[in-house]
Amino acid sequence: MQQLNYNETNGIVIGPELSRIFAEIILQAIDNDIVSDLEGKSVFFGVDYHVFRYVDDFFVFYNDQEVFSKIKSSISLCLTKYKLNLNKSKEYFFDRPVITPITIAKKKIADLLSDKLKYNIEYVEGTKEIEKASLYFRKSSLITDFKSILHTSDVSYGDILNYTLSILEKKVRKILLVYTKVPEGENVDKQLVSALVSLIEFSFFIYSMSPKVNGTIKLCRIMQQIILFVNDRTLGIEYRDVIFRSIFNGSCSVLEDIKVGNETPVETLYLLVLMRQLGKFYWLDEFSLCKYFGIVKSSKGINVEKDLNYFSIIVLLFYIENKKRYDFLKEPIEEYVLQKYAQKNSIINIDSEITHMTLDLIACPYVSNKLKDEILEKSDVPKACRKKVISYCSTWFTKWSGYNFAKELDAKVSQDVY
What are the φ/ψ torsions at residue 395 (nearest 5 degrees)? -140, 120
The dihedral over CA atoms of 399, 405, 406, 407, expressed in degrees to the nearest 10, equals 0
Structural Rg of the chain based on CA atoms: 27
What's the DSSP call for residue 15? S
More confident call, 342 vs 15? 342
List, for residues 54-98, the tens digit of each pLDDT value.
988 999 999 999 999 999 999 999 999 988 889 988 888 888 777
Q: Are 73 and 91 in contact (CB under 8 A)?
A: no
Q: Is the predicted pLDDT of residue 25 greater than 70, yes or no?
A: yes
Best CA proximity match to 212, nearest among 256, 137, 162: 162
Residue 40 has pLDDT above 80, yes or no: yes
d(CA 191, CA 176): 13
Beta bridge partners of 302: 297
CB 335 within 8 Å of CB 291: no
Per the prediction, the chain carries an average pLDDT of: 86
57 Cβ neighbours under 8 A, 6+ residues apart: none
* Phi, psi (degrees; rounded to nearest 5) at 307: -90, 95
Per-residue model confidence as pLDDT tens digits over 117-146: 777 777 776 667 776 667 777 778 888 889
**b (16+ CB within 10 A) / e for 18-31:** ebeeebeebbeebb
- The residue among 340 and 403 whose pLDDT is bigger is 340
Is residue 418's pLDDT more than 50? no
Q: Which of 12-16, 120-124, 221-225 has the lowest mean pLDDT?
A: 120-124
Instruction: Give the helix ranges, DSSP H, for 42-100.
Output: 65-80
